[in-house]
Chains A and B, each alone.
Chain A
Amino acid sequence: MAPISDADDRTLAGRAADGDVRAFEILVRRYAGLMRGYAGRMLQSTDEVDDVVQAAFITAWQQLPNLADPSVVKSWMMRIVNRKALDRIRARHPHDELGSPASRGLPAPVQHSPEAVAEHHAVRSALSQVLAGLPEQQRQCWLMKEVAGYSYDDIADELGLPVSTVRGLLSRARKRVISEMEAWR
């Protein structure tokens, strides 16, 4: 008999909605890496990832009974993680508008010369640094669009910004990332 850990997302999300903790545990293990990786990019820090993603999974458990289509549980949980990460960023600077351009006391990205970066990961490390160097709001928009798959409208909703502003931020982020990555072709 196939173990329940082989079951598809819809089955597991449906069971978890009904109160099956074991099914939810499988979903946690299946997507913990994805969610933690995304949260780390969004937060630009690793020490808050544990808390943020843990809180996101607990919220997911609470809200699963309201999820109309359990087959979309992965992208639905990704959105919860995204929201928790944004909440955490807002909480860092309660008096700032989200994403105002101050460097926010975050550690500057470690800078390596291209030669110093291990060959295998050089290009990806470069992209990682370019993203870290983006202004916060640009980076948030870019991650939500390019990694989490949000629409422009959904990004605007999440960030409380006009869609035109989101388009402007994304446009600048894309130009900058593309331009800076061009040297790594």
Chain B
Amino acid sequence: MTPIDDQTPPDGLGAAGLPGGAGLPADAGLPADDALVLGGLELTSSDLNGHSIDELADYYDAGLTPPDVSIDDSAGCQIALAAIARLRALTAQLAADDEASQSGVDEGWVSGILNQISLQARAGRDIPLIEADSTTSHLVITEGAVRAIVRAAGDRVPGLFIGRCRFVGDVTVAGEPVVVEVDASVLWGQSIRQTAEAVRQAIMTDLARHTRLNVVAVDVTVHDVQSAAPDARADGEGSADV
């Protein structure tokens, strides 16, 4: 059995007005706070072959592997596992309901977040816009602004989304060689090679136009190939360096 070491007093089963205690014999009183009652019967530790409910939940979560005959051959454990499975399904539905009930996002609430974060710009390093031999003027563009240029260039290329962008090299010194590394996901059906080449060219062109960075390479890492209607999940780590 699991040790009971929290300080919560027993406050009774069925106290919420639910029919949880309805199946109990009237003279049984309320079962102990930590009793497992299924089908109107209290399942004891021996009914569960000595397993605790959290062991059974962990076994269920592990996909009933590795096989444990002391669980698989116990009628009590099987009843408890079935109850755990039902509860899992119900919990998933409850969480989905909770999410759906909150789906109508209040625009003022969203604006409240965006207004706050907009004040916290990510400027990054200062990148000189004037040749190193100029001693009279100091003109810089921030790293954050150059990242925005890279993203905008990438967004002009159909079938691809630009993610994170890094500049490798000392961008604060004019003329230093810089490698641009971008993360991207490509829509299903595109040629990864052609799309990556198009985005490389677009980034090179725009950086040459708007900055004095000495870009020696643009490395595009395609981390995902996603269908046109994504399920908004970022898994399927189909990384391919091009």
Known A37-B98, A50-B109; contact A178-B83, beta-carbon cutoff 8 A: yes
Task: Indicate if A82 sits at the interface (CB-CB under 8 A).
Answer: no
With both beta carbons as reference points, the residue of chain B lying nearest to A182 in the complex is identified as B38
A residues in contact with B35, CB < 8 Å: 175, 179
Give the contact-size bracket for chain A: 35 or more
CA distance A146 to B110 in the complex (A): 28
Give the chain A neighbours of B230 by CB distance below 8 A. 6-8
Q: A124 and B237 in contact (CB under 8 A), knowing A6-B229, A14-B163, A167-B2?
A: no
- Decide: A130 and B234 in contact? CB cutoff 8 A: no
- When chains A and B are docked, how far (Å) is the Cα of A147 from the Cα of B91? 7
A26 closest partner in B (C-beta): B232
Q: Which of A70, A121, A165 contacts B97 (CB 8 A)?
A: A121
The verdict on A83 contacting chain B, using a C-beta distance below 8 Å, is: no
Contact B39 A182 (CB under 8 A): yes
Q: Which residues of A are found within 8 Å of B229, using beta-carbon distances?
A: 6
Interchain CB contact under 8 A, A20 and B57: no
Inter-chain contact B54/A167, CB cutoff 8 Å: yes
Q: Mark B223-234, 1 if CB is under 8 A from A, else 0.
A: 110101110111
Instruction: Say how far B160's CB is from chain A's closest CB, in angstroms.
Output: 9
The A interface is mostly helix, strand or loop, or mixed, namely helix
Q: Which of B9, B11, B163 has the most CB of A within 10 A?
A: B163
B2 and A171 contacting across the interface, CB-CB below 8 Å: yes
Cα A12 to Cα B80 in complex, Å, equals 42
- In the complex, chain A residues whose CB is within 8 Å of the CB of B22: 183
The CA-CA distance from A156 to B52 in the complex, in Å, is 19
Residues of A within 8 Å of B147, CB to CB, are: 18-19
The residues of A with any CB-CB pair to B shorter than 8 Å are 1-2, 4, 6-15, 17-21, 24-25, 28-30, 32-34, 36-38, 40-41, 50, 54, 57-58, 61-62, 65, 70-74, 100-101, 109, 111-114, 121, 123-124, 126-130, 132-133, 135, 137-138, 146-147, 164-165, 167-172, 174-185
Closest 9 CB pairs of A and B: A37-B98, A14-B164, A14-B163, A9-B234, A19-B122, A10-B234, A180-B20, A11-B163, A171-B2
**Cβ contact of B234, chosen from A11, A54, A146, cutoff 8 A:** A11
Chain A residues near B90 (CB, 8 Å)? 123-124, 127, 181
Check A171–B52 contact: CB distance below 8 A: yes
Give 1 or 0 for each of B32-46: 1 = CB within 8 Å of chain A CB: 011111110000000
Q: Which residues of B contact A9 (CB under 8 A)?
A: 232-234
Pairwise interchain contact B162-A137, C-beta atoms closer than 8 A: no
Given contacts A62-B120, A65-B122, A129-B18, contact A70 B98 (CB under 8 A): no
Contact of A183 with B18 in the complex, beta carbons under 8 Å: yes
B145-182 residues at the A interface, CB under 8 angstroms: 147-148, 151, 155, 158-159, 161-165
Q: State how many angstroms separate the Cβ of B27 from the closest Cβ of chain A.
A: 19
B19 contacts A by Cβ under 8 Å: yes
Give the nearest-CB partner of A72 in chain B. B234
The contact of A32 among B33, B110, B121, B226, by CB within 8 Å, is B110
A98 to B175, CA, bound (A): 57
Contact partner of B122 (CB less than 8 A), chosen from A18, A74, A101, is A18
Indicate if the CB atoms of A179 and B54 lie closer than 8 Å. Answer: no
Given known A29-B105, A180-B14, contact A101–B8 (CB-CB < 8 A)? yes
Residues of B within 8 A of A181 (CB): 20, 83, 86-87, 90
Contacts of A65 in B (CB 8 A): 122
On whether the beta carbons of A58 and B117 are closer than 8 Å, the reply is: yes
Verify B5–A8 contact, CB threshold 8 A: no
The digit string for B67-92, where 1 denotes a CB below 8 A from any CB of A, is: 00000000000001001101110110
9 contacts between A and B (CB under 8 A): A1-B159, A21-B114, A61-B117, A65-B122, A126-B18, A137-B6, A182-B37, A184-B19, A185-B86
| Known A-B contacts A1-B158, A8-B230, A18-B165; A33 and B17 likewise in contact (beta carbons under 8 Å) | no
State which of B127-135, B183-191, B202-210, B211-219 sits at the interface with chain A. B183-191
